[in-house]
Amino acid sequence: MDNVGIVVDDLEGAIDFFRELGLELEGRATIEGEWAGRVTGLGDQRVEIAMMRMPDGHGRLELSRFLMPAVVADHRNAPVNALGYLRVMFAVDDIDDTLEKLGERGAQLVGEVVQYKDVYRLCYIRGPGGLLIGLAQELR
């Protein structure tokens, strides 16, 4: 897999949030014009993107803020059992420390931190703009 795309309404806030999770900003660009619209099927478009690279170098998040055309749907408040792409989960070293740091950036715990056997501590949070993010701490 090359990347997962996430549409956001606050590109700067999303970049800062994912940096806190250890991702690195690989690059930014404005994508526009007829050629881009042929790929997406949206026609003439203008989109600011930021490519965020995972700390291990395997995989990226493409954060997109559409300037034109306007966003037409909002799935951010969909429950965990909604159909379609819903969340991305990150492995973290210390879930409590990560929650504290992300809380300073506005993240809110969805349910509670739970432990699955002696294997993981897990939780869901709402990140920038209400994005659903999963956190998993492997217990060794």
Burial class (CB in 10 A: 0-12, 13-18, 19+), 132: buried
pLDDT at residue 82 in the model: 82
| pLDDT (tens digit per residue) in 47-72 | 999 999 999 999 999 999 999 988 88
- d(Cα 73, Cα 78) in Å, to the nearest integer? 11
pLDDT at residue 78 in the model: 80
Nearest to 28 by CA among 2, 54, 53, 45: 53
Residue 39, Cα to own-chain centre: how many angstroms?
22
Nearest to 59 by CA among 86, 90, 30, 17: 90
pLDDT at residue 2 in the model: 85
Q: Domains of the chain, with CATH numbers?
A: 3-68 (3.10.180.10), 88-138 (3.10.180.10)
| pLDDT tops 90 at residue 44 | no
* Section 92-113 average pLDDT: 95
Percentage with pLDDT > 90 across the chain: 69
How sure is the predictor about 126, in pLDDT bands with cuts at 50, 70 and 90?
very high
From the CB of residue 61, how many other CB atoms can be counted at a distance below 10 Å?
20
Helix (H, G, I), strand (E, B) or coil at 74: coil
DSSP character at residue 71 = P
* Section 83-104 average pLDDT: 92
